[in-house]
Amino acid sequence: MNLEQWNKAVDAWVEKQNKKSGKVFKPGVGMYPPKQEGLIVHEVGINNKVATKDLIRHYADAIGDTNPLWRSEDYARQTRYGGIIAPPRFIDCIAPPYGMGMGFPDFGVPGMNPLNRGSNITWFKTIHAGDEFTVHDRYLEIKEVTKKDRPMPRLFLFNGERKYVNQREEVVAIAEGGAIIVGSGPALKGPDPAFSGITRHKYTDKELEEIDRAYEAEKRRGIEVLYWEDVREGEEIPPIVKGPLTVMDSVAFFHAIGYTTAFRVTHMLMKVTPDWGIIDPETNVRVPAAGIHVNDAIARAQGVPFAAGFSAQLEGNIAHLVCNWMGDEGFLKKLDCQSRRIYTLGDMCWLKGKVVKKYVENDEHLVDLQVFAENQDHAILMPATGTVRLISRS
């Protein structure tokens, strides 16, 4: 397939996918069976229907969050919740926001690599241990955002909406987002030029000592109430640190969200969706493309210089920062995260932010935040905005 043929195939694929725009469906549980009626590829559906205490703890471990509200029944019983609740981004364990739409896009065209572009989530209810979920997906559309002065790679935004509904028929959260699809064409050899300049950092003893001090200095407000009246516009949020990112950090997230299969299940998934498999250049074995998160060779086969961290884990880190600041009595209403730079093994994640606005709306006392994650070179990995509801002294 030459470049002209490839471009025509991509155009046809976009047209085909956008015919699904506006359709709503309920994804099933798990990624097996890999093919369901009406779907031409396997879906990233519900990984876990029930928010068990163990699963909540596993998720908290996977983002490095030691808040006892997520893990200690004795502690949680003393709060207004009366028991263990889940961190806001626990919805990744139920059904990952980046899987919304009609499952994985059915590419059928080589050189098309999807990357999580972040998500805009609104929460309406707290997730309690024992809650059970269904999910409603709405496919939106694919938009091309290729720069006119740079025709390659071709860039697309894959959009969808995922609604999380509990056993009481309450809408707990609505996520909007999807993927950035990098179309590099049939001639790609080695890392995609979109990721040029990314190197692996070797840390000095001084840097490692700074990281250690930052971990030890992490502060969590916890049961102490942060009153709306006490918040000042412009005040900084106490920073926290994550990293350097290791394979085990990514494996922990894989495990927590349930996005893993093995042997025959994996074999069948790759059989029904060939694009989901990547040839490992070191073994000539077809392996899941998700190996991009733990294996440099698999990442390079997809045009990425090093194994890439999960954007969803990065979003969970940002939510962790906000929860530490707002305390157990605060409620995270909105969080809009945007992936700006690939996050690779060995990268640091420094999480920082500030208050930009406080106001009252519909009898709620709200605070708007600007938060971000940056790496060891101060490159912004993910900027975000959030809205928190606080208790008023009045």
The mean pLDDT value for 134-141 works out to 88
Number of domains in the chain: 1
Alpha helices in 258-307 (DSSP H): 263-272, 296-301
Structure confidence at residue 151 (pLDDT)? 78
Query: Which CATH number goes with the domain that contains 310?
Result: 3.10.129.10
Any residues with CB less than 8 A from the CB of 240 and at least 6 apart, and which? 214, 218, 317, 320, 321, 324, 351
Q: Domain range spanning residue 251?
A: 3-390
Per-residue model confidence as pLDDT tens digits over 362-371? 999 999 999 9
Band (pLDDT 50/70/90 cuts) for residue 270 is confident
Tokens, residue 130 = 């024992």
H-helix or E-strand spanning residue 319: helix 311-326
Whether the per-residue pLDDT at 107 is higher than 70: the answer is no
What backbone phi and psi angles, to 5 degrees, belong to 374?
-130, 155
What backbone phi and psi angles, to 5 degrees, belong to 254?
-50, -50
Number of H helices, E strands in the chain: 9, 12
CB atoms < 10 A from the CB of 109, how many?
A: 22
* pTM over cut 0.85: yes
Tokens, residue 288 = 């899941």
Distance CA 142, CA 17 (A): 7
CB atoms < 10 A from the CB of 125, how many?
A: 15
Per-residue model confidence as pLDDT tens digits over 89-101? 999 999 988 765 4
Q: Quick one: angle between helices 311-326 and 53-62, nearest 10?
A: 100
Structure confidence at residue 274 (pLDDT)? 67
The mean pLDDT value for 161-170 works out to 96
When computed from its CA atoms, the radius of gyration of the chain, rounded to whole angstroms, is: 21
The mean pLDDT value for 221-234 works out to 97
Per-residue model confidence as pLDDT tens digits over 13-23? 888 888 888 88
Structure confidence at residue 187 (pLDDT)? 58
Per-residue model confidence as pLDDT tens digits over 116-137? 888 999 999 999 999 999 999 8
Tokens, residue 107 = 């590419």
Structure confidence at residue 160 (pLDDT)? 86
Structure confidence at residue 123 (pLDDT)? 98
Structure confidence at residue 300 (pLDDT)? 86
Whether the per-residue pLDDT at 10 is higher than 50: the answer is yes
Whether the per-residue pLDDT at 34 is higher than 50: the answer is no
Within a 13 Å sphere around the CA of 324, how many CA atoms are in the beta-carbon half?
25
